[in-house]
């Protein structure tokens, strides 16, 4: 091929132009688009492209290369074609050289161009070879090169085919056709993917991400994700359908990179001392920067993620270059349409260029978004991992300053905000560039009139800032009310048994609905201001255009309004408006992210456990002393005063040391000090050997029983069975639905307090540690269980014999069996020695024993062990057909995590879940859900809203059409005759659109607030009216999710998504109408586009909804694990299990990212392909305009094409809005979940059988009474028939699971009778409303419960008593002095559920609350469990004084407390086994006698 013909020879003068249009002269206006220029550009651009990018690309693949590829057929074909092209261009060089040799003069370019192309083709072939060597399977650089190379041969081919001079120059023709064929073949081959490398460095995952296998076009347009979208459309997606996570996105890799860089940043700070890494990694401190908090973390994030961010920024800059090319091309196109003498090929070229520029803008912008979203995902993973690792090393002081909810808030809100800010970072500088370029364009179009646009935009800024500030104020108010509502809701749900027992639901509902009303009021105001803000942004384009056009028409010399000025100005102003709208939003997001970043940095810099606070050694040396403390003084934090002073303690190998003392003496603090949890002010602590720890408040995981006990250790079946039996768990576990594989609910919600404590003890025993630190593990156990556990586990002959044990206890009767006893008082050691030595000293220990007013051997401390557990569970004997709890466990040698995975995945039914799972919903949202939401909004309001949207869109269409008529008005003497009329009508239509837009948006938001209020009230009522069994089966987290996240979605997201959907959908209709009205021919192309659009929409919506739901469920597990670890971090550290917990967190995070990554790819797939469809609509509008040029005005074409340009992103946002709305509608479905569950009996009956003063006596009669906890379970209480006389004091005793508390729940109708009935003062309780019944009975439960609010509110919830009466009750329970010392006294605000008070103080407050009720019937369920024995006796005396005339039911776990009862009921297996006075029952020597004997009372 004669390459010289690519450019005009000196004599030709670009004669090729005539090929395109033989009759028309070239217009001067199009010299930039002449065929000469196009051919010259196409000759030089491809070589320049490859020589600029090629070396950079070569360097990149050299550094990041992988294993070489096999020599495939694809590679061989590419090389053959490349060599053929080299030969062809060698021939093109040789021909002019031969002609010069023959004496024929040749133009220099005839030699230069082929030479340049020869070297370029050689370089391209070399790149093909190097890509195989470096493992590159598909090349983007070469794809772009071959695409550019197609342009010149394509132009030459069209030119030569049109000229028809094949016979004159056959060789030249053949060379041109051959060149085109070879280049097109190379382009096609570059769309294919080569075979994988011979030796892969990484092992192939089960379901690898198809991106690695994708070609460059597939990567550019995200077609490689189509397989997953198709699967999601055809069926429900499961875990096996999701791609495996690449190492570069894994939690382990990302967190380690960020942690390494942060350590480097922190160690580089002046004055920073790096922590020593001596010792186990579990004990090593995390990161504690001493000075700057934000700087080191920011530097670390930049170092880890800068390459991805900078590459995304480059894509965005290139995208913006094409973004601003479109208005220029539109200007040239409208100039072409207005010039009747212009060449036809110019219009076609401009249409293609507009389409190409829009497509390139789309592709580069979506690549930027893809990289930004991947960066968001990685950043979220890395920082969440840092937070989790920090949680594991927080000191006790830091944990007190941060609640579990605060940590979850950091993960779910602050990290999310920080990640989302990445998209807006470039907006801080790039938007100013947008604004500058827009004003340059406007100046070119309108001259000095463009300055008025600046004035209008500047005048709108104060309005927007004012609205934003006011809206921010109302949003803050709404957030405060929402936080208040969330706290109260959480408290209600966690203490629902207490609330229902007292009949307080109505009072709490009123309080909650009052807060909700204030929240919705703030929300309405905020959304109305948001509507004004949205309208101001939407209408600002119109306002600026109106002012600019008016000034231009009145002032400018050339003031005629043509199509180019009108519609290019509108296009530029729409870009300017985006910048103006996006800039304050970017600033707002960055400010929010900075606040969140500071919170994260502050949390990550909180005080940590001092790694040198305790010297630990795992050696098994035969040292005499296992534990030694020398002159130890300890404090909870650097700010707090010391809590332990002058501790000198040595504990020898195998010693059982009992630690006793009054409440607040520092017993638990001593164990914390030994664990290294307290700040060591002075002295030293040394521990030799592994440690196991049992906390005072049992911590159990939300996993199976076997996983809780084994606690990340290898499963040993015989030892597990032995441990369970010794800890009195064998029979309990046997009665669980799935034995050891039974899942335990959140915070052990489906276990009783005693079961949780014994499980916690079993976990410690299973470890086979050298040292055991036991913080009062016997307190939550019944007397006989307590004795059994002490004897078989802790005592001299128990499983732990020979180990070193420190036992903190209030159970004084075990003291004689201890080797040594340590008595603490006020944070110091009062005395220490053997039991006999201390008795002889007559010191602090004797004082404690005297305070109990009983011999030390007769004291037994326990609390109820049959509440809240598995219904029917916890029986002392298991059913004959029940296998042993560990029979089904797998063989030794397999990890416990495998056990759990098998049980939960292979056979879900085998786990026997007792808690209702918060299952992920699949498929599309049903139409009935949409209808239920619309009914909540109201049919009239829905109709009115649609009418308003239609009106404002009609005004918008009329405005654009009117502008096209204005542009087409004839110009007479440089002016248009009706300019003033046109301007006034244009302004009026714009104002009408603004009013309609505000009214329609306000209607959507107000309707949403109305629906949200009704749905919340319905949800609240449904939950409050549910029976107690529903709360036992349903995790609190599921309920809280409905009241927080789902309610927030209904409040905010659904109205906003509905507004977006309606706005974009009506806008899309307007564009379709504009294009078809201007060029009816376009409808032929629009119909196929609509079919493709519907196909993309269906694929995306079906898959996206599933992925979003899966992501929400997976992220919930991450947050739950984070909160669970925070609560149990003390146990995790004591067991040195940080590494396994960190691995579990990483695995959960990776599972979440396995869903997040496909979701973000699906979003990019939709955006890219729908924007390309939108660009197709622009191309259709432009080409139809070229075809119909003869009878189309420039104004109408401007209206059509500019409208089509606006629709590019509208297409995807209609689908996005619809998908978001459907995802959000799941919240309505979930909020309505509980409407169908059975409800408890009415709270009030219209014809109540009880009189106002009922019960006046308090006589209780059980008639053949029986109840069961759930319909499918056997009777828990059966055949109980007895009468309790008015004023009688009756004790109820029995072993664990005997049904003691079930009688109380039956009396309060927390569980309805399965058979028989209960009568009070001759009235059957089923004939009385629940609130009437429960308000006439007082119960003091085992667990003390306080609510968020003042002390006075907690004591007198219904505001029925005077301050004097409240102070009298406080004095009775000996809390008057304490309350007087509090700030605000009775108005003192309780933190959380009284977290700032001790358990004993909370129990005394609950006692005072019960005294104020003064009901005729009192139920005591171990009301004094949390106070020391001396105070207990005084409390008993106070109760007797206040309730002398009342009927008292005393559920007893300390048998001593029933000895003064008139009658005692002994329960066994749900029946009354014995009844009589204590003396009579002891004389019978039956079950009561045996219980008394076990407790040391007989």
Binding residues: 661-668, 1294-1301
Any bridge partners for residue 806, and if so which? Answer: 657, 773
3-state SS of 1289-1328?
A: EEEEEECCCCCHHHHHHHHCCCCCCCEEEEEECCEEHHHC
Give the contacts of 1411 (CB within 8 A, at least 6 positions apart). Answer: 1369, 1372, 1373, 1438, 1442
Where do we find the tokens 């991992």?
385
- DSSP letters of 1337-1371? EEEE-SS----SEEHHHHH-TT--S-HHHHHHHHH
Q: Per residue in 222-250, is it b (16+ CB within 10 Å) or e — as a string? A: bbbbbebbebbbeeebeeebbbebbeebb
> Which residues make up each annotated binding site for ATP?
661-668, 1294-1301
Q: Is 195 helix (H, G, I), strand (E, B) or coil?
A: coil
CB within 8 Å of 697: residues ≥ 6 apart: none
Whole-angstrom Cα distance, residue 1027 to residue 1025?
A: 7
Can you tell me the distance from the alpha carbon of 928 to that of 1309, in angstroms, rounded to the nearest whole number? 36
Sheet holding 771-775, edge to edge: 691-694, 771-775, 804-808, 656-660, 820-825, 828-833
Cβ density class 143-159: b for 16+ within 10 Å, e for less: bbbbbbbbbbbebbbeb
Q: What are the respective helix, strand and coil percentages of the chain, to the nearest 5? A: 65, 10, 25
Query: 488-505 burial, b for 16+ CB within 10 Å, e for fewer?
Result: bbbbbbbbbbbbbbbbbb
The burial of 1305, by beta-carbon neighbours within 10 Å (0-12 exposed, 13-18 middle, 19 or more buried), is given as: buried
Cα of 179 vs its chain's centroid, Å = 56
Write the DSSP symbol of residue 692. Answer: E
Q: Which phi and psi (to 5°) does residue 615 adopt? A: -90, 110
HSE value, Cβ hemisphere, 13 Å, CA-based, for 1333: 29
Alpha helices in 235-275 (DSSP H): 251-267
Write down the H helix ranges in 938-978: 939-968
What is the rounded distance in angstroms from the CA atom of residue 467 to the CA atom of residue 462?
A: 9
Planar angle of CA 42, 46, 51, nearest 5 degrees: 150
- CB-neighbour burial class of residue 425 (10 A; exposed 0-12, middle 13-18, buried 19+): middle
Contact (CB, 8 A) for 297 and 261: no
Burial of 768-792, coded b for 16+ CB within 10 Å and e otherwise, reads: ebbbbbbbbbbbbbbbbbbbbbbeb
For residues 8 and 20, give the distance between their C-alpha atoms in angstroms, rounded to a whole number: 15
Please name which of 666, 604, 603 lies closest in space to residue 635, comparing C-alpha atoms: 666
- Specify whether the CB–CB gap between 379 and 301 falls below 8 A: yes
Q: What pairs with residue 657 in β-bridges? A: 806, 820
Which pairs with CB-CB distance under 8 Å and at least 24 residues apart come from 314-321?
A: 315/364, 315/365, 315/367, 315/368, 315/371, 316/364, 316/365, 316/368, 316/426, 316/430, 317/430, 318/360, 318/364, 319/360, 319/361, 319/364, 319/365, 319/368, 320/361, 320/430, 320/433, 320/434
For CA atoms 448, 450, 456, 458, the dihedral sign is negative
């Amino acid at each position: 091929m004669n390459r010289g013909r690519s450019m005009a020879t000196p004599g030709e003068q670009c004669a090729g132009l005539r090929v395109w249009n033989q009759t028309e002269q070239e217009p001067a206006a199009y010299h930039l688009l002449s065929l000469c220029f196009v051919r010259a550009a196409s000759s030089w651009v491809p070589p320049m492209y490859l020589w600029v990018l090629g070396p950079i690309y070569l360097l990149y693949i050299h550094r990041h290369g992988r294993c070489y590829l096999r020599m495939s057929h694809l590679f061989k074909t590419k090389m053959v074609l490349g060599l053929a092209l080299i030969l062809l261009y060698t021939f093109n060089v040789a021909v002019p050289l031969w002609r010069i040799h023959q004496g024929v003069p040749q133009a220099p370019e005839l030699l230069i161009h082929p030479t340049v192309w020869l070297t370029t083709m050689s370089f391209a072939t070399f790149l093909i070879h190097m890509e195989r060597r470096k493992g590159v399977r598909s090349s983007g650089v070469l794809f772009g090169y071959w695409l550019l190379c197609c342009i010149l041969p394509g132009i030459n081919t069209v030119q030569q085919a049109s000229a028809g001079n094949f016979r004159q120059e056959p060789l030249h023709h053949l060379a041109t056709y051959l060149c085109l064929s070879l280049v097109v073949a190379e382009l096609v081959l570059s769309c294919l993917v080569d075979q994988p490398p011979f030796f892969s460095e990484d092992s192939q995952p089960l379901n690898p991400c198809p991106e690695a296998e994708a070609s460059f076009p597939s990567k550019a347009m995200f077609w490689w994700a189509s397989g997953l979208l198709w699967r999601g459309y055809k069926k429900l997606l499961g875990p096996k359908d999701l791609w495996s996570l690449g190492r570069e996105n894994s939690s382990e890799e990302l967190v380690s990179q960020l942690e390494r860089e942060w350590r480097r940043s922190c160690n580089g700070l002046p004055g920073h001392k790096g922590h020593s890494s001596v010792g186990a990694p579990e004990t090593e401190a995390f990161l504690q920067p001493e000075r700057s908090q934000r700087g080191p973390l920011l530097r670390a994030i930049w170092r880890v993620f800068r390459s991805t961010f900078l590459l995304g920024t480059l894509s965005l800059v290139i995208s913006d270059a094409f973004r601003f090319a479109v208005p220029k091309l539109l200007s040239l196109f409208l100039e072409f349409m207005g010039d009747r003498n212009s060449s036809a090929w110019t219009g076609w070229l401009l249409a293609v260029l507009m389409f190409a520029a829009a497509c390139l803008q789309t592709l580069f912008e979506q690549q930027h978004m893809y990289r930004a979203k991947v960066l968001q995902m990685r950043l979220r993973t890395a920082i969440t991992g840092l937070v989790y690792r920090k949680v594991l090393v927080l000191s006790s002081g830091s944990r007190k300053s941060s609640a579990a909810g605060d940590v979850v808030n950091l993960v779910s809100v602050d990290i999310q905000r920080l990640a989302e800010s990445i998209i807006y970072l470039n907006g801080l500088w790039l938007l100013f560039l947008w604004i500058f370029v827009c004003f340059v364009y406007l100046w070119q179009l309108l001259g000095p009139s463009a300055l008025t646009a600046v004035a209008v935009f500047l005048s709108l800024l104060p309005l927007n800032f004012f609205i934003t500030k006011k809206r921010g104020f109302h949003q803050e108010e709404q957030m405060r009310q929402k936080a208040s509502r969330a706290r109260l809701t959480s408290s209600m749900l966690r203490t629902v048994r207490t609330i229902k027992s007292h009949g307080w639901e109505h009072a709490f509902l009123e309080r909650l609905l009052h807060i909700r009303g204030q929240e919705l009021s703030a929300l309405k105001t905020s959304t109305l201001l948001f509507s004004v803000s949205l309208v101001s942004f939407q209408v600002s384009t119109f306002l600026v255009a109106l002012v600019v056009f008016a000034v231009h028409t009145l002032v400018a010399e050339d003031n005629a309004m043509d199509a180019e000025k009108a519609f290019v100005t509108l296009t530029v102003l729409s870009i300017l408006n985006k910048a103006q709208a996006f800039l304050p939003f970017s600033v707002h997001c960055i400010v929010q992210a900075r606040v969140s970043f500071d919170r994260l940095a502050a949390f990550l810099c909180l005080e940590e456990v001092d790694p040198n606070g305790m010297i630990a050694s795992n050696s098994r040396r035969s040292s005499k002393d296992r534990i030694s403390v020398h002159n130890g003084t300890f404090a909870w934090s650097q700010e707090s005063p010391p809590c332990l002073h002058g501790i000198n303690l040595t504990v020898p190998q195998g010693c059982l040391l009992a630690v006793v003392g009054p409440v607040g003496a520092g017993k638990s603090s001593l164990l914390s000090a030994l664990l290294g949890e307290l700040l060591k002010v002075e002295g030293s602590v040394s521990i030799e050997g592994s440690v196991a720890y049992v906390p005072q408040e049992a911590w159990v995981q939300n996993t199976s029983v076997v996983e809780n006990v084994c606690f990340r250790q290898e499963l040993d079946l015989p030892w597990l069975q032995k441990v369970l039996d010794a800890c009195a768990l064998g029979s309990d576990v046997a009665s669980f639905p799935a034995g050891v594989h039974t899942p335990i609910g959140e915070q052990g919600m489906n276990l009783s307090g005693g079961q949780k404590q014994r499980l916690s003890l079993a976990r410690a025993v299973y470890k086979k540690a050298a040292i055991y630190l036991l913080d009062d593990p016997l307190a939550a156990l019944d007397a006989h269980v307590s004795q059994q556990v002490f004897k078989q586990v802790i005592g001299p002959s128990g499983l732990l014999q020979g180990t070193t044990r420190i036992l903190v206890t209030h159970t004084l009767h075990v003291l004689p069996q201890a080797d040594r006893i340590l008595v603490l008082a006020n944070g110091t050691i009062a005395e220490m020695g053997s039991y006999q030595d201390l008795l002889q000293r007559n010191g602090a220990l004797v004082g404690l024993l005297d305070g109990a007013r009983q011999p030390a051997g007769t004291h037994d401390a326990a609390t109820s062990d049959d509440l809240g557990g598995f219904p029917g569970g916890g029986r002392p004997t298991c059913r004959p057909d029940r296998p042993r709890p560990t029979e089904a466990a797998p063989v030794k040698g397999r990890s416990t995590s495998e056990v759990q995975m098998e049980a939960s995945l292979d056979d879900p039914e085998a786990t026997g879940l007792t808690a209702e799972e918060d299952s992920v919903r699949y498929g599309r949202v049903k139409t009935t859900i949409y209808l239920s939401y619309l009914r909540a909004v109201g049919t009239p309001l829905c109709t009115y809203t649609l009418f308003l949207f239609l009106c404002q869109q009609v005004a918008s269409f009329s405005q654009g059409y009117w502008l096209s008529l204005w542009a087409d008005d004839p110009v007479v003497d440089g002016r248009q005759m009706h300019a003033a009329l046109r301007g006034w009508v244009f302004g009026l239509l714009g104002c009408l659109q603004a009013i309609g837009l505000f009214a329609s948006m306000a209607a959507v938001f107000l309707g949403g607030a109305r629906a949200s209020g009704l749905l919340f009230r319905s949800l609240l009522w449904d939950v409050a009216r549910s029976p107690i069994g529903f709360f036992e089966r349903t995790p609190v987290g599921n309920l809280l999710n409905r009241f927080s996240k789902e309610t927030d979605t209904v409040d905010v997201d659904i109205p906003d998504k509905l507004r977006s959907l309606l706005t974009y959908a009506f806008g899309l209709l307007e564009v379709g109408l504009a294009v078809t009205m201007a060029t009816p021919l376009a409808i032929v192309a629009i119909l196929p586009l609509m079919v493709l659009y519907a196909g993309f929409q269906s694929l995306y919506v079906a898959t996206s909804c599933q992925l979003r739901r899966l992501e929400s469920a997976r992220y919930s597990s991450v947050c739950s694990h984070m909160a669970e670890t925070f609560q149990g971090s003390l146990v995790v550290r004591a067991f040195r299990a940080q590494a396994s917990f960190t691995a579990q967190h990483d695995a959960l995070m990776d599972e979440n990212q396995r869903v997040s990554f496909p979701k973000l790819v699906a979003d990019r797939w939709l955006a890219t392909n729908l924007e390309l469809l939108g660009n197709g609509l622009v191309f259709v509008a432009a080409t139809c305009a070229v075809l119909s040029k003869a009878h189309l005005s420039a104004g109408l074409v401007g209206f059509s094409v500019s409208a089509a340009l606006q629709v590019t992103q509208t297409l995807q946002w209609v689908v996005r809005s619809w998908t978001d709305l459907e995802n959000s509608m799941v919240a309505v479905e979930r909020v309505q979940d509980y409407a169908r569950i059975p409800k408890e009996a009415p709270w009030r009956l219209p014809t109540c059988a009880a009189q106002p003063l009922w019960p006046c006596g308090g006589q209780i009669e059980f008639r053949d009474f029986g109840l069961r906890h759930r319909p499918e379970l056997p009777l828990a209480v059966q055949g109980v028939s007895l009468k309790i006389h008015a004023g009688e004091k009756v004790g109820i005793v029995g072993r664990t699971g005997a049904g003691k508390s079930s009688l109380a729940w039956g009396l309060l109708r927390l569980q309805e009778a399965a058979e028989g009935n209960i009568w009070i003062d001759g009235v059957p309780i089923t004939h009385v409303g629940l609130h009437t019944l429960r308000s006439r009975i007082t119960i003091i439960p085992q667990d003390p419960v306080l609510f968020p609010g003042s002390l006075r509110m907690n004591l007198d919830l219904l505001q029925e008593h005077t301050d004097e009466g409240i102070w009298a009750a406080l004095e009775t329970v000996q809390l008057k002095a304490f309350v007087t010392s509090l700030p605000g006294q009775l108005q003192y605000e309780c933190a959380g559920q009284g977290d700032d008070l001790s358990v004993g103080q909370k129990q005394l407050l609950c006692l005072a609350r019960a005294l104020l009720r003064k009901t005729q019937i009192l139920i005591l369920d171990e009301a004094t469990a949390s106070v020391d024995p001396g105070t207990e006796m005084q409390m008993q005396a106070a109760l007797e004084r206040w309730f002398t005339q009342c009927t008292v039911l005393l559920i007893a776990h300390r048998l001593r407390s029933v000895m003064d009862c008139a009658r005692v009921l002994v329960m066994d297996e749900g029946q009354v086994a014995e009844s009589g006075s204590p003396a009579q029952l002891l004389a019978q020597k039956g079950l009561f006698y045996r219980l008394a004997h076990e407790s040391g009372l007989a």
